[in-house]
Structure 1
Amino acid sequence: MTELEKGPQGRRRGRGAFERILGASRQLFRDQGINRTGMDQLCAVAQVSKRTAYQHFAGKDELVAEYLRRFDPDLMAAVFDRPDLTPRERLLAAFELPVSGSQDLTPMCPYIAAAVELHDPQHPAAQYARDYKKAIAARLAETAREAGAADPEQLGEQLALLLDGAAARTRVLNAESFPTAGAIAAVLIDAAIPVVGSHSRAATTTAANPATA
């Protein structure tokens, strides 16, 4: 392919083609699913020829894997990397990310959607989905540990399950479920993280009222 080669509708091909193909995949996979989206339609939306598409991706499977790999490379950095929040606040902020707009509600988590549609557990995209979900649970557990949770791994798994359940329920019912999930998360977090100063308050009360000891 030369720099002057052009695809459909006369658009110049080159480095921009790769990003246009990925952009088309994000749009189409989200709106209609992976299995219903063919390479012909992807190329039409991206405005590239099939030859160009296959020069960037060996096939649709490779494109799906790259689509997932690039979806959230920073593991919710907008939540976990916020220095202005305490660890407990970061755990709760994980449930505030999805925001309903005027057009539609939060779509199904792309990793869950891919796992549902792809029947081959060895598919590279299925592996990305598993790795991502494990990484999110690990990041939640790490933050729970910073917050002082007695069993951070358990709390991390519980919160990860809540996030996935809220994403699926929002899609099925077309009604926002994250506020409810966030309220449940707050109960779990409060139960898992000891209240700072509770022991000292108890000691003070006992000293002031020996009869209660």
Structure 2
Amino acid sequence: MDEVETEPDVSKGPRGRRRGRGARERILHASHRLFREQGINRTGIDQLCKVANVSTRTAYQHFGSKDGIIDEHLRQHDLERLPGVFDRTDLAPRERLLAAFETPQSAAGDVTPLCPFLAAAVEIPEPDHQLRIRVRDYKASMADRLTVVARDAGATNPGELGEQLALLLDGASARTRALNVDSYDVAAAIAAMLVERSIPDTPPTS
């Protein structure tokens, strides 16, 4: 019987690694896991590519550099991609402020998560680095969003309340990671007191 020739699997490279389709998503998935578990600086590009099952050439084609991977890793967590944090239509503005302190679902894993933007700020010392600028922009936008919700809730000083809650969120994230225990419940109780003090029972009429 004549042998039937089969076409080579062009979806795989010479080492059997899948290439092209899904490579970008696999790289980002690997970055989320490795950056969370062992940090940005301890994660080398070779290890990242091995976990993602791609070549370093493919990684550089998609992101240009490791900094490009980190930048996209952070963008995946920004406010525009997480509308459910502030835009819940089932809650009143006052309730949305407190809902921001619900324990993140990722905290259920073995490695207690740290806000990825705080983690990047700790590991990248240069204040003018493009990634540090992204961190500052994100943290400023977080406070701004909290301020908008506080204003909608009728806070007497929404800017002050927004900054207080933003600081409290960062503290909860850092303390949860440092102690490996959930600190969001304590932060939520403090947030409730701040909201109670800052928002009158009867919202002002326009």
Runs of 4+ in 1 over 4 A off after TM superposition: none
1:84 aligns with 2:90: yes
What percentage of residue pairs aligned between the two structures are identical? 60
Comparing 163-172 and 105-114, the one that deviates more: 105-114
2:103–2:182: 8 Å Cα contact kept in structure 1? no
Paired residue secondary structure (1:15): coil
Pick from 16, 38, 42: which aligns with 1:36?
42
From the superposition, tell whether residues 5 and 172 of structure 1 become closer, same or farther in structure 2 (CA, over 3 Å).
Answer: same
* Structure 1 or 2: more helix by fraction: 1
Structure 2: segments with no counterpart, 5+ residues:
1-8
Q: Which secondary structure state, in structure 1, belongs to the residue aligned with residue 89 of structure 2?
A: coil
Aligned position for 1:187:
193
Aligned length: 195
Specify the SS of the correspondent of 1:35: coil
Three-state SS of the structure 2 residue aligned to 1:95 is coil
Change in CA separation of 1:31 and 1:7 when aligned onto 2, cut-off 3 Å: farther
The answer to whether the 8 A contact 1:8-1:49 is kept is no
> Which residue in the other structure is 1:135 paired with?
141
Distance 1:7 1:23, change over 3 A: farther
Q: TM-score, normalised by structure 2?
A: 0.88
Q: State the alpha-carbon separation in 1 of the partners of residues 92 and 111 from structure 2.
A: 29
Q: Is the 8 A contact 2:154 2:200 kept in 1?
A: yes
What is the rounded CA distance, in whole Å, between the counterparts of 1:73 and 1:15 in structure 2? 27
Instruction: Provide the rounded CA distance (Å) in 1 between the counterparts of 2:79 and 2:203.
Output: 38
Q: Which has the larger radius of gyration?
A: 1
Q: Counterpart of 1:160?
A: 166
Equivalent position of 2:104 in the other structure: 98
Aligned alpha-carbon RMSD (Å): 2.0
TM-score normalised to the size of structure 1?
A: 0.85
